[in-house]
A and B are shown apart, each in its own frame.
Chain A
Amino acid sequence: MTRTFKASKVVRGVAEGEALACPGSFSFLGDVDMQTGEIIAAGHPCRGMRLAGRVLAYPETKGSSGGCVVLITLARRGLAPAALITEKPADYNLAEGAILAAIPFVCEPEAGLLESLAGGVRVRVDADRGTVELLD
């Protein structure tokens, strides 16, 4: 069954990957190890998961404006997410990193998307069309 959610484009591009849905807000500085791309924050519900190639979805970006540089560094090492989805409007800082790293980024999806991504289904993010498609 294919289900498609509408979302607002932030950074252009199309990408597919296994979803990684984080229930809490996310800080690229602090929550991720730059050497492995693994979520390391103590007590984080997704601790131990790796971002590489995943479609990372979470409610809201928080934390330092170093987040943008962390995203670029992860991308240089092939450890960055394939695409980004945030429920709240996009963080300006993170959008800069996503533009430079050419990572498709959408925000403010239709209600229920994050819940539908639980369990790591495969999804296709088409920022240009403003859609997130569940492929499994």
Chain B
Amino acid sequence: MLDGAEGPVVAEALDYLVQLGEAFGAERLVDITYCHYPAEMAIYEGSVEEAVAYSARGGRVRVPTTTSTLCADLERPASTGCPAALATLQAQVEGAHRRMGMLETYTCTPQLLGFVPPFGSYIASVESSAIVYFNSVLGARTNRGGLFTRYSAITGKYPLMGYLLDDNRRGTHRFDVHVPPKHLATYDAWCALGFHIGAIVGGAVPVITGVRPDRQEWLLGLGAALATSGSVTLFHIPGVTPEARTVDEAFHGQPPQEVHEVTLQDLDAVYERLTTIPRGSAVDFVTLGCPHYNLAQLKNVAEKLAGRRVPEGVRFWVCTNRMTRRQAEYSGYVQAIEAAGALCVADTCPVESHMRLSTCREHGLRAPNVEAMVTDSAKMARYVGDLIGCQTALTDVDSCIRAALSGVFS
């Protein structure tokens, strides 16, 4: 490959991967079986144009490759208020991805679409919440990928380093959670737990004891938050996640570097940190679906919105992927959500959309575009505060729906 026998695009891709491997002392490249690729977003200047030009050079993916979120809902770009010029530019990536043989999934949760790599398989993924899920919940192996997933997709290779190696998957910090289960029975509570632990553990490997995540989305919210306040790639929950049948196995038989106790007060502190909207004051945006909601979560929102109405002046986005939205349309959930005046959004979310401060300024939109956003996601709350420039509140889904219907955070 490197000598150009398979063409210059493959040789170049391999050369980049070799450079990456050298940067981290990898001994060799290994075969990967799946990629999740960072779809080029039109809010990043030059990104779409570069993808179109690159795809014209003839590179084709060698492994199934899903694509991550965009800055517009491609099926109905006007619905989110995305400026037409930005949406038109964004739509050009679809042709580029098709030419390269990528799958037009445009979601942060490819695992919800059935892309569930087998235990122990080497993959190359972007999207910090998907990366931590693949590693921790499924036991597949990927580092925190970025633009180089393109080169992995085209060559089917990645350097053998980091979290692909057994030694680096050993737990480092133990977190003994002393929070009554009734306080860990909502999605947002798992986000708060992840946000608290991530801020302490940084880029290390937390082992979390004393918890029982009964829902897939709780694990998703936990991981997304761990990779927001920290840069966690892998966590273990003994008795739950596949590489940690026991605490001892999670630490590969070695003692933890640090042990921390986690109490309800620690979770409360996360809510306090991510809630800057005073109680009783007005809300103009509510976001659910970070990471993208699954079908059961959409059903729940649809049922709670039935016969209700979101007032003028409040935007309520329920974000998911396009495959799930198609199914939710079939089941009537999208219609129920939208009859109430909310929006079931696919392909994007507020933080990836045109509503970022810098994008609003470039396109002459009101900036900040949002004054006060309520969400059930710690990741969303953390990023929109600075990127959209709004006040935030982290709370449970029922309170989010109440805020949307009343226009007030109570």
Please report A residues at the B interface, Cβ cutoff 8 Å. 9-12, 25, 29-31, 33-36, 40-42, 60-70, 72-73, 76-77, 88-97, 99-100, 105
Which candidate, B141-149, B205-213, B248-256, B264-272, is the interface stretch facing chain A? B141-149
Which residues in chain B, 188-247, are within 8 Å of chain A measured between CB atoms?
198, 202-203, 227-231
- Specify which chain B residues have a CB less than 8 angstroms from the CB of A66 in the assembled complex: 38
Known A-B contacts A33-B357, A64-B228, A99-B19; the reply to A73 vs B47 at CB < 8 A is yes
> Number of B interface residues, CB 8 Å?
41
Identify which of B2-10, B84-92, B330-338, B379-387 touches chain A.
Answer: B379-387
CB <8 Å contact, A90 and B46: no
What's the nearest-Cβ distance from chain B to residue A123, in Å?
21
B126 near A95 with CB under 8 A, answer no
Residue of B nearest to A40 (CB): B386
- Could you tell me if B46 and A73 are in contact, using CB atoms closer than 8 angstroms? yes
Establish whether residues A65 and B44, one from each chain, have CB atoms under 8 Å apart when the complex forms: no
Identify A62's interface contact among B127, B229, B358, CB under 8 A: B229
Contact across chains for A60 and B47 when beta carbons are under 8 A apart: no
Which residues of the other chain, A, contact B148 by a CB distance below 8 angstroms?
A: 96, 99
In the assembled complex, the CB of B122 is this many whole angstroms from the nearest CB of chain A, namely 14
Question: Which residues from A are CB-within-8-Å of B383?
Answer: 29-30, 64
Q: Which of B139-185 contact A (CB under 8 A)?
A: 143-148, 162
CB neighbours of A29 from chain B (8 A): 383, 387
Is A31 within 8 A of B146, CB to CB?
Answer: no
- Can you spell out 19 A-B residue pairs with CB atoms less than 8 angstroms apart? A10-B23, A33-B357, A34-B358, A35-B362, A40-B357, A42-B385, A61-B203, A61-B231, A64-B228, A65-B126, A65-B144, A65-B146, A67-B146, A68-B147, A72-B147, A90-B24, A92-B145, A95-B23, A95-B24
Q: How far is the CB of B136 from the nearest CB of chain A, in Å?
A: 15
Chain A proximity of B133: nearest CB distance (Å): 13
When chains A and B are docked, how far (Å) is the Cα of A101 from the Cα of B282?
43
Q: Which residue of A lies closest to B163 (CB)?
A: A92
| In-complex Cβ contact of B38 among A40, A60, A65 (8 A) | A65
Contact B146 A96 (CB under 8 A): yes
Residues of B within 8 A of A (CB): 16, 19-20, 23-24, 38, 41, 43-47, 126-128, 131, 143-148, 162, 198, 202-203, 227-231, 356-358, 361-362, 382-383, 385-387
* B202 in complex: contacting residue of A25, A33, A77, CB < 8 Å: A25
Q: Given contact pairs A25-B202, A36-B358, A95-B24, enumerate 16 new A-B contacts (beta carbons under 8 Å).
A: A9-B23, A25-B231, A29-B383, A30-B386, A34-B358, A60-B231, A61-B231, A63-B231, A65-B146, A68-B38, A73-B47, A76-B45, A88-B202, A96-B145, A99-B20, A105-B23
> Are B228 and A63 closer than 8 Å at their CB atoms?
yes
**Residue of B with least CB distance to A60:** B202
Name the distance in Å between B36's Cβ and chain A's nearest Cβ.
10
A-B contact count (CB 8 A): 122
Smallest CB–CB gap between B41 and chain A, Å? 7
Q: Which residues of A contact B144 (CB under 8 A)?
A: 65, 91-93
Q: Verify A69–B231 contact, CB threshold 8 A.
A: no
Nearest CB of chain A from residue B275's CB, rounded to whole Å: 13
Chain B residues positioned under 8 Å from A72 (CB to CB) = 44, 47, 147
For the complex, give the distance between the alpha carbons of A41 and B386 in Å. Answer: 6
Whole-angstrom distance between the alpha carbons of A40 and B228 in the complex? 16
Give the nearest-CB partner of B361 in chain A.
A35
Interchain CB contact under 8 A, B231 and A62: yes
Nearest CB of chain B from residue A77's CB, rounded to whole Å: 6
Contact B147 A96, beta carbon cutoff 8 Å = yes
Contact at A69–B23, with CB atoms within 8 Å?
Answer: no
- When chains A and B are docked, how far (Å) is the Cα of A1 from the Cα of B391? 47
The answer to whether A11 touches B38, judged by C-beta atoms less than 8 angstroms apart, is no
Most chain B beta-carbon contacts within 10 A, residue among A9, A93, A97: A93
- Is A60's CB under 8 angstroms from B358's CB? no
Chain A residues near B162 (CB-CB < 8 A): 92
In the bound assembly, the distance between CA atoms of A36 and B356 in angstroms comes to: 13
Cα(A62)–Cα(B38), bound, Å: 18
A76 lies within 8 A of B46 (CB): yes
Supposing A35-B362, A91-B144 touch, asked if A73 and B44 sit within 8 A by C-beta, the answer is yes
What is the CB-to-nearest-CB distance from A89 to chain B, in angstroms, rounded to a whole number?
8
Nearest residue in A to B36 (C-beta to C-beta)? A65
- Cα A56 to Cα B20 in complex, Å, equals 21
A90 to B20, CA, bound (A): 11
Which of the listed residues A77, A88, A94, A95 has the most CB atoms from chain B within 10 Å of its own CB? A95
What 3 pairs between A and B have smallest CB-CB spacing? A68-B146, A35-B358, A96-B146
Could you tell me if A99 and B23 are in contact, using CB atoms closer than 8 angstroms? yes
